[in-house]
């Protein structure tokens, strides 16, 4: 990894010394750069005079600031630069030239007129890793909104009840997956740059990320020529695998192999069911799900979801109640995962990966607009205001 001093204090993680110029906004790019910042990179978030629009995406809010913005803003430094102002544009160019990694999600070609495109940045620093995140690749000018990607990728076509219209996921999941892909690619390119001194242009887009994230569903088409449809909470290949009604509320049962199914049948007091040739193998259970479902529902109706969970889970049957997000945090906390962390007094969600030697750190609260102008200017060797 790069070793130059970031000016951001003592060693903080595996990416300590890596400088990231973040010209992205909304979610995919900012999520990517937050994860890099958690791992020790110095991330400078550059915003135009209008600011990142997600600062105003509320409710909900905390102290008048959108929780949407706050959820991906920690550990960053912020500077506001007006590219129409020659002095501000010069700062942006110096920052990009100094950075080990540049992340941007402007429309394709949108930074060229400011001399901040890959060609210009590479001319100033051949080692820079330049990450572009677009909606649908460099040939498309369609805005990169997550819901458009969910629609165009086919994700919505396989989400929801088959008797109702397609529906989007409950979170901007394509943005999140694209941010993960961009971060992984940035680290791979950074390793190459450190080894050879040559940076490169890394391009991620929402549509390609969504098609990759559809895994077995997109694979069914690419490999088998199948066009999957909506199955609601059903799985196309395995059963039982989803929510089932009990005496009070639904219990999710996830049976991935024949041994688990036998344990389920034993736990339900129906051991002979596992020997029925219609249900003995995963393939047969999937084919005969309409015959199996009412048998399972009749048995599960005898007890509550909590009672079944307490009886079946210890017996090795994968099952779980459906929790709301507040309950999910409580469950994670009870499991010792400590899901809430504080960065500069601001609570947030813990980085998702644990490291035995170089754990993530939580150093700064999400910054206000232009909060770190003087700090960034000093980083670039210029006097502050």
Give the residue numbers marked as catalytic.
Answer: 175
CA dist 322 and 336 (Å) reads 20
Q: How far apart are CA 37 and CA 346, in angstroms?
A: 16
Q: The tokens of 225 are what?
A: 């020529």
8 to each of 30, 75, 337, how far by Cα in Å? 19, 11, 28
Question: Residue 236 CA to chain centroid, in angstroms?
Answer: 24
Asked whether 78 and 367 are in contact (CB, 8 A), the reply is: yes
User: Does residue 323 come out as left (phi exceeding 0), alpha (psi in the -120 to 50 range) or beta?
Assistant: beta
Q: Is 26 in contact with 59 (CB distance < 8 Å)? A: no
The values of phi and psi at residue 251, to 5°, are -120, 130
β-sheet bridge partners, residue 358: none
Q: What's the rounded Cα separation, in Å, for the pair 70 and 348?
A: 8
Pairing between β-strand 241-245 and β-strand 250-254 as defined by DSSP bridges: antiparallel
Following DSSP, what letter does each residue of 322-344 receive, concatenated? ---HHHHHHHHHHTT---EEEET
């Amino acid at each position: 990894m790069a070793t130059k001093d970031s000016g951001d204090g003592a060693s903080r993680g595996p990416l300590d010394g890596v400088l990231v110029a973040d010209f992205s906004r909304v979610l995919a790019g900012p999520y990517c750069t937050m994860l890099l910042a958690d791992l020790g990179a110095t991330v400078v978030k550059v915003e135009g005079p209008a600011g990142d629009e997600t600062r105003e995406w509320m409710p909900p809010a905390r102290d008048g600031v959108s929780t949407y913005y706050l959820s991906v803003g920690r550990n960053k430094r912020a500077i506001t630069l007006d590219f129409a102002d020659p002095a501000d544009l010069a700062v942006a160019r110096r920052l990009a030239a100094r950075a080990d990694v540049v992340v941007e999600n402007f429309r394709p070609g949108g930074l060229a007129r400011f001399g901040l495109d890959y060609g210009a940045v590479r001319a100033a620093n051949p080692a820079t890793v330049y990450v572009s995140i677009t909606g649908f690749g460099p040939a498309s000018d369609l805005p990169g909104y997550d819901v458009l990607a969910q629609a165009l990728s086919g994700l919505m076509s396989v989400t929801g009840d088959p008797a109702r219209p397609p529906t989007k996921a409950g979170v901007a999941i394509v943005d999140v997956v694209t941010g993960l892909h961009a971060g992984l690619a940035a680290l791979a390119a950074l390793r190459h740059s450190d080894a050879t001194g040559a940076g490169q242009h890394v391009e991620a887009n929402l549509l390609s990320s969504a098609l990759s994230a559809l895994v077995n569903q997109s694979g069914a088409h690419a490999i088998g020529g199948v066009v999957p449809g909506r199955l609601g909470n059903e799985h196309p290949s395995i059963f039982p695998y989803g929510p089932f009604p009990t005496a009070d509320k639904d219990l999710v049962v996830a049976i991935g192999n024949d041994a688990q199914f036998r344990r389920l049948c034993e736990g339900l007091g129906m051991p002979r069911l596992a020997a029925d040739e219609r249900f003995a193998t995963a393939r047969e259970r999937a084919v005969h799900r309409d015959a199996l479902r009412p048998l399972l529902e009749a048995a599960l109706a005898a007890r509550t979801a909590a009672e079944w969970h307490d009886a079946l889970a210890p017996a090795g049957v994968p099952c779980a109640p459906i929790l709301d997000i507040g309950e999910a945090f409580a469950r994670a906390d009870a499991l010792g995962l400590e899901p809430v962390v504080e960065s500069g007094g601001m609570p947030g969600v813990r980085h998702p990966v644990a490291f035995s030697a170089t754990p993530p750190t939580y150093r700064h609260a999400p910054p206000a607009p232009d909060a770190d102008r003087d700090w960034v200017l000093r980083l670039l060797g210029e006097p502050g205001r």
